[in-house]
């Protein structure tokens, strides 16, 4: 039995936050630059391919895992955006719906496997539950970030600051005896709106309260940083493999 997901280190959280930001800006760039229908269909195909690459590994391999996480970030953002922009579902409703979906996955996962602990993801079935949860967190986080920034009027910077505070709470609560699994998933859900809010703030134009750096440059810089972080993880994994 081999662990199929990474250990929770500081680098894990850094790369996770970067992936959420890149997912947001890359999705915005692709959808606005090309035919949205074609982009979403192609993204679905790439999403399926990246899932196959990850799922067939049968153990944690950094580049495989993070390739799929980044694709989940892009595709999950597209799903949430299509729900609002194309179908016209208000952010409050889509946020609530995605939250219900996430809770339902947790309940089913716990009932079938007896635990939702990320450290227990050592089988194919548990990994399927894990990735279903991850996809739901990205869709929920996208809708939640847009809800606070636009519907609630906090703006992207204001939303980012608010989510920094909310992101810090589970770390403090964990030291006050909040169960580790609950603390992890609480923080994990919030990485999506946290990273995306700051990425949007950097990318969007001044009229929308941003720095107007552009979605493509922000995506490119974020991608480079992700590649660097994953390279470090891959090197560490190779070194640990040689010493065991």
Instruction: Report percent pLDDT > 70 for the chain.
Output: 98
pLDDT the model gives residue 242: 60
CA distance 47 to 223: 17
Residue 85 per-residue DSSP state = I
Position 241 pLDDT exceeds 80: no
Mean pLDDT of the chain: 90
Neighbour tally for 172: CB within 10 Å: 10
SS3 content of the chain, % helix, strand, coil (to 5): 80, 0, 20
pLDDT in tens, 27-67: 989 988 888 888 888 999 999 999 999 988 878 999 999 99
* Angle of CA points 183, 222, 182, to nearest 5°: 5
Place of tokens 């989510």: 163
Domain boundaries, given as residue ranges, for the chain = 10-242
CB 65 within 8 A of CB 237: no
pLDDT the model gives residue 102: 94
- Using a cut of 0.95, tell me whether the model's pTM lies above it: no
pLDDT in tens, 126-147: 999 999 999 888 888 888 888 9
pLDDT in tens, 85-102: 777 788 899 889 989 999
Sign of the alpha-carbon dihedral angle for 113, 119, 124, 126: positive
- What's the mean pLDDT in 97-118? 94
CA distance 164 to 227: 24
pLDDT the model gives residue 166: 93
pLDDT in tens, 182-237: 999 999 999 999 999 999 999 999 988 899 999 999 999 999 999 999 999 999 98
CA distance 182 to 188: 10
CB 81 within 8 A of CB 27: yes
Position 174 pLDDT exceeds 50: yes
Sign of the alpha-carbon dihedral angle for 146, 174, 184, 180: negative
**Token couple for 212:** 């107007």
Instruction: Report percent pLDDT > 90 for the chain.
Output: 61
pLDDT the model gives residue 244: 46
Q: Which residues contact 183 (CB under 8 A, 6 or more apart)?
A: 170, 171, 173, 174
pLDDT the model gives residue 141: 85
Q: Which residues contact 234 (CB under 8 A, 6 or more apart)?
A: 62, 63
CA-to-CA dists, residue 167 to 112, 173, 222, 239, angstroms: 29, 11, 20, 32
Region of poorest pLDDT, from 4-13, 72-81, 107-116, 221-230: 72-81
CA distance 112 to 132: 14
More confident of the two residues 176 and 244: 176
CB 62 within 8 A of CB 230: yes
């Amino acid at each position: 039995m081999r662990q199929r997901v990474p250990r929770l280190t500081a680098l894990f959280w850094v790369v996770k936050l970067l992936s959420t930001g890149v997912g947001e800006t890359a999705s915005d760039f692709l959808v606005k630059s090309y035919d949205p229908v074609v982009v979403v269909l192609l993204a679905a195909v790439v999403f399926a391919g990246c899932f196959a690459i990850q799922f067939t590994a049968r153990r944690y391999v950094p580049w495989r895992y993070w390739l799929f996480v980044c694709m989940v970030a892009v595709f999950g953002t597209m799903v949430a955006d299509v729900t609002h922009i194309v179908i016209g579902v208000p952010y409050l409703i889509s946020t609530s719906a995605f939250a219900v979906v996430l809770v339902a996955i947790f309940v089913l996962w716990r009932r079938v496997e007896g635990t939702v602990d990320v450290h227990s993801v050592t089988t194919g079935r548990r990994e399927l539950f894990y990735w279903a949860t991850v996809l739901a967190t990205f869709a929920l986080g996208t809708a939640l970030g847009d809800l606070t920034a636009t519907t609630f009027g906090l703006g992207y910077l204001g939303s980012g600051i608010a989510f920094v505070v909310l992101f810090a709470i589970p770390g403090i609560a964990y030291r006050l005896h909040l169960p580790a699994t609950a603390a992890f998933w609480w923080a994990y859900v919030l990485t999506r709106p946290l990273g995306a809010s700051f990425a949007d703030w950097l990318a969007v134009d001044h009229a929308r309260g941003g720095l107007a750096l552009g979605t493509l440059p922000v995506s490119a810089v974020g991608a480079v940083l992700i590649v660097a972080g994953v390279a470090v993880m891959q090197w560490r994994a190779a070194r640990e493999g040689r010493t065991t």
